[in-house]
Structure 1
Amino acid sequence: YFGAKSANQSQNNSKGPCEDAGGNRYKNLNQTVRIFLYCLIFLVSVLGNSLIIAVLVRNRHMRTVTNLFLLSLAASDLMLCLFCMPFTLIPNLMRDFVFGSGICKVAMYFMGISVSVSTFNLVAISLERYSAICNPLTSRTWQTKSHAAKVISATWVVSFLLMLPYPISSTLVPFTRVNNSTGNMCRLVWPSDVIQQSWYVSLLLLLFLVPGIMMMTAYGLISLELYRGIQFEMTNRKSSRDRQCSTDSIKPGDNDGCYLQPTKKGELAHLQNSTGSAKSTLSRVCSNSSTSNLMAKKRVIRMLLVIVCLFFLCWTPVFAVNAWRAFDRRSADKLLSGAPISFIHLLSYTSACVNPIIYCFMNNRFRQGILSTFTCCSCPKGGGVGRGAGNVGSGHEGGVACPVCPPPTVQ
C-alpha cells in the first residue's frame, strides 16, 4: 500500500532497448501526467490544510466541537501529504528508494498513522453531526470541547499503537534491474504469508469497511431526518400559508435549517393530526424563511452524499489492491506495477485534497474566518484595529476587536 512494491516491478517497467518511439512517447507522457497530478494535489492539499490549521489556531471563537475534529483531520491530512506523496512518487520515478533505511521506517510509520487518524476523524465527525442533528437536546450534555479533545487524543494514541508493525517490519530490499544495476525498495517484510494476509484483512475492516458502514449509516439517518423536515415544512406551508413562524428564540443559521423547540398543546395536537408521527414533547419549527431552510436542507443532503461517495471512491481501490496483493502478490504486481499503482495511490491522496473543500471551504462561517484572519494580518502600523478587521466574520452585532491584532497604544 504505502509505496511497498515488489522487486520485479522495476523490471516490468523497462521494455528494453527494442522499445519503439511510440512506446517512449507514451511512457514520457504518462510520467509527465503523473508528476503534474502529484504536484497539483500535493500543493492544493498542503495549502488547504495549512490554511485550515492557521484559521482555527488563530481564531479562538471558531474553536467549536466540530472545528476541533476538523483541526485534527487537517493535521492528519497534512501529514498524509508530507509523508505519503514524496516517498511514493520519487522512488517510483527513480526506481530506487534513495532516502535510507531510517527514513523508510519513519515514513512508513507516519504514513500509516496519517491514514488511520484521517479515517477515525471522518467517523467521529459523522457521529458528531448525527448526534447534533438527530438528537440535539441529549447531545448538548456531552458534546463539549473537553470531550472532543479526549476523543481526538484517543484516535491519535490508537493510531500510533495500531501502526507499530510498520516501522518494525519495513526495511530496504535490494533488487537487480534489467541493466544489472542494483536498487532498493522500501518494503514490508512479514514473517509469514498468514500474518501478512491477516494484517491487510484487518486494515480492510478497521480502516475501510467498518468506518464506511458507520459513515453511511450516520449520514443516511441525517439525510432521512432532514428529508422528514423538508416534508413537514412543505406540508405545513400547504395547510397553513398564513401562519407566521416564531423566530424570537431561535434564529436560522447556516447549518441545515432544522430546529427543535418545545411546543404548546394546541400546536402539538395540530402537528399530530397533520403528520401522525410527531413526538409528544417536541415539534419542528420553521424559520421566517422556510424556502431558504428547504434549500439549506437539500444542500446538506447533497453534501452528505458527496462525502460518502468520495470516501469510497478514494479508498476502495487501494484497500482492494492491498487485499489482492496479500493473497496473490505475483498477479497483482504484474498487472498493477508502474503507472496503475501510482494512479491508485494518487486517488487515495486526493482525499486529503477534497476534505478541506467539503468540510471547511463550503462552510460560510469558515470562509468568514479566513477573511477575518487575513484582515487581522494586515493591521495598521499605528496599532489600531481597523473597522474591517473588527467586523469581518465576527458573528456579533456591531463587531468586536480582532483577537489577533494588538490593542491601540497610547502615545
Structure 2
Amino acid sequence: MAGLFNSSRSSNSTEVLGNLTSRYVRAYLETGGPLTQGELSAVSAAYGAVFLVGVLGNLLVAVVLLKVPHMRNPTNYLLLNLSVADLLFLLVCMPVSLIETWVSFPWILGEFVCYFSPYMEFVTFHASTLTIMVISVERYYVICKPLHCKETLTGRFIASVLVVLWPAAFITSLPVLFITRFRQIDSVGPEPLYTCETDSTFWAKVYLLSSAAVFYFLPIVLLSGCCLVISRHLNTPDIQPSVGQRAAMDNRIRSRKQVTYMLLAVAVLFFICLLPYRSTLLGLMYAPQEMMQLMGNKGLLILIIICRIMVYINSTVNPILYNITSTKFRRAFKQAIGITAGNETSRTGTGNETNNTRRMHARRRSTAV
C-alpha cells in the first residue's frame, strides 16, 4: 500500500511538492510528521500484533494440508492459495507501510520498493479476489451439480485454474507500474530527497476505477448470486431420501452448510475490509484539492492508517474463521500441532477397555445360563 496511499495523498498536490524549496523541506523535517510518538507507537503495536497473528495463522493452514491427508481436497487447496496471497501481502507490503507511517515524507525506501510494493499489493488483491470467485463457483457445483462436480472439479483441474489465476493477477496489475512515479524534489543537504507518487492522470483514474469494478463490485454480484442459489438448494434438496438414508443425508447437508457458511464468512469479510481501501483510493483520486486540505495531513494519515489496518486484518483472520466455523478445520489444526494426539490415544484406550469389559460380562452371562 506504500506507493498508492502515500502517493494518493500527494497526487493532487504534485505541483506543490515539485515546487518545495529547501527551506520548506527543512522545516517539515525538523517538525516531524503529523503523528505524535505515542500515536506512532500505538500504530506500530497494532501492526506488529496483526503481522504476527497473520503470518503464523496462514502458515498453519499450509501445515494442516501437509500433515493431515484427509484435508487435501479442492476447496482446501483454494483456501491454501488464499493464504499464500495473504502471506505475500503481509510480508511484502506491511513492513513498507509501517516504515512509511513513521517517515511519511520524504520517501526513503528507494525506487525499486516504490514500484514493487504497490504492484504486489494489487497482485495479491487480484489473486485473492479471483480465488474467492473460484471458491464460490466450486461451491455451486459441489452442492447444486454434484454429479457434474465429480467429473470436473478434480485436483488436476484446480491446479490448472491456479496456474491461470496467478498470471492473470500479475498481468492485470501491470498498469500500477506505469501510474506510479518516483520523483526527486529539492534537497536539504548533499543527499537528494524523493517522493513516491501515483499519477492523477485520466488513464490512472480509468485503471483504478476499472480495477475496483472488475475485482471488487463484480465479484460481489457473482458471490451474492451463487450464495442465493446455494442457499435455496440446501434448504430444498432435489432428492427426497428414504427413511434409512435420511440420517446420512442430513449429515451431508449439515457438513456442506458448515463449509459454505465458512467460505461465505471469508468472502464477506474480504469485501467489508477492502471497502474503506477501495473507497478512499478512488476518493483521493477524484477529490478536489480543497477537500484534502480541509482534512489536513494528520486527518488524511489517520484515514490511510485505518484503511491499511482493515486490509491487514482481512489477511489475518481467515485461519481464525476456519477454526470458528468449521469443525473439520478445528480438529485438523489441533492434529497438525499435536494437541489431540494424547487425547485420541486415551479415548482409543478407553474404548478398547470398554469393549473388553463388555465381552467379559457377556461371557459371564453365557456361563451362568
- Pair in the same fold by TM > 0.5: yes
CA contact (8 A) 1:123 1:214 kept: yes
Question: TM-score scaled to structure 2, two decimals?
Answer: 0.74
Task: Give the aligned partner of residue 328 of structure 1.
Answer: 287
Task: Give the aligned partner of residue 211 of structure 2.
Answer: 203
Task: Give the aligned partner of residue 131 of structure 2.
Answer: 121
CA displacement, residues 367-397 of structure 1 (integer Å, 9 cap, x when unaligned): 3223333339xxxxxxxxx9759979xxxxx
Change (3 A) 1:114 1:331: farther
> Does the alignment pair 1:369 with 2:332?
yes
Change (3 A) 1:39 1:62: same
CA contact (8 A) 2:262 2:325 kept: no
Task: Give the aligned partner of residue 41 of structure 2.
Answer: 32
Moved more, 128-137 or 118-127: 128-137
Whole-Å separation in 2 of the counterparts to 1:331 and 1:52: 47
CA displacement, residues 286-329 of structure 1 (integer Å, 9 cap, x when unaligned): xxxxxxxxxxx5x6676566445423321111111222222236
SS in 2 for 1:186: strand
Aligned 1:111-260 pairs, distance under 5 A: 111-175=121-185, 183-189=193-199, 193-228=201-236, 244-246=243-245, 252=251, 256-257=254-255
CA contact (8 A) 1:311 1:351 kept: yes
Of 71, 74, 94, which residue of structure 2 is paired with 1:65? 74
Structure 1 residue runs without a partner (length 5+): 237-242, 259-296, 377-385, 393-397, 399-411
Change (3 A) 1:220 1:151: same
1:244 deviation in Å? 4.5
Residue 256 of structure 1 aligns with an amino acid whose one-letter code is R
1:252 deviation in Å? 2.4
CA displacement, residues 63-113 of structure 1 (integer Å, 9 cap, x when unaligned): 210011011100001011112211112112112332211222222222221
Identical positions, percent? 23
Change (3 A) 1:121 1:43: same
More relative contact order in 1 or in 2 (CA 8 Å, sep 6+)? 2
> Does the alignment pair 1:349 with 2:312?
yes
Change (3 A) 1:153 1:146: same
Count of aligned pairs: 329
Moved more, 113-122 or 2-11: 2-11
SS in 2 for 1:337: helix
Task: Give the aligned partner of residue 239 of structure 1.
Answer: none
Residue 163 of structure 1 aligns with an amino acid whose one-letter code is S
Moved more, 343-352 or 67-76: 343-352
Residue 313 of structure 1 aligns with an amino acid whose one-letter code is I
CA displacement, residues 249-287 of structure 1 (integer Å, 9 cap, x when unaligned): 76825x6356xxxxxxxxxxxxxxxxxxxxxxxxxxxxx
Task: Give the aligned partner of residue 356 of structure 2.
Answer: none
CA contact (8 A) 2:276 2:307 kept: yes
Whole-Å separation in 2 of the counterparts to 1:331 and 1:225: 52
Residue 68 of structure 1 aligns with an amino acid whose one-letter code is Y
Change (3 A) 1:308 1:97: same
In angstroms, what is the RMSD of aligned CA positions? 4.1
SS in 1 for 2:152: coil
CA displacement, residues 336-360 of structure 1 (integer Å, 9 cap, x when unaligned): 6211111112112221112222246
Whole-Å separation in 2 of the counterparts to 1:84 and 1:61: 34
Whole-Å separation in 2 of the counterparts to 1:138 and 1:388: 41
SS in 1 for 2:183: strand
1:41 deviation in Å? 1.3
The structure with the greater share of residues assigned to helix is 2
Whole-Å separation in 2 of the counterparts to 1:129 and 1:122: 10
Change (3 A) 1:362 1:184: farther
Whole-Å separation in 1 of the counterparts to 2:120 and 2:333: 29
Change (3 A) 1:197 1:227: same
Residue 155 of structure 2 aligns with an amino acid whose one-letter code is K
Question: TM-score scaled to structure 1, two decimals?
Answer: 0.67
Moved more, 336-345 or 321-330: 321-330
CA contact (8 A) 1:219 1:304 kept: no
SS in 2 for 1:184: strand
SS in 2 for 1:185: strand
CA displacement, residues 12-64 of structure 1 (integer Å, 9 cap, x when unaligned): xx9989x9xxxx9x844433332222212111111111111122234444221
Whole-Å separation in 2 of the counterparts to 1:256 and 1:227: 11
Change (3 A) 1:157 1:16: closer
Residue 117 of structure 1 aligns with an amino acid whose one-letter code is A
> Does the alignment pair 1:75 with 2:74?
no
Task: Give the aligned partner of residue 282 of structure 1.
Answer: none
1:157 deviation in Å? 0.8
> Does the alignment pair 1:3 with 2:5?
yes
Whole-Å separation in 2 of the counterparts to 1:332 and 1:303: 40
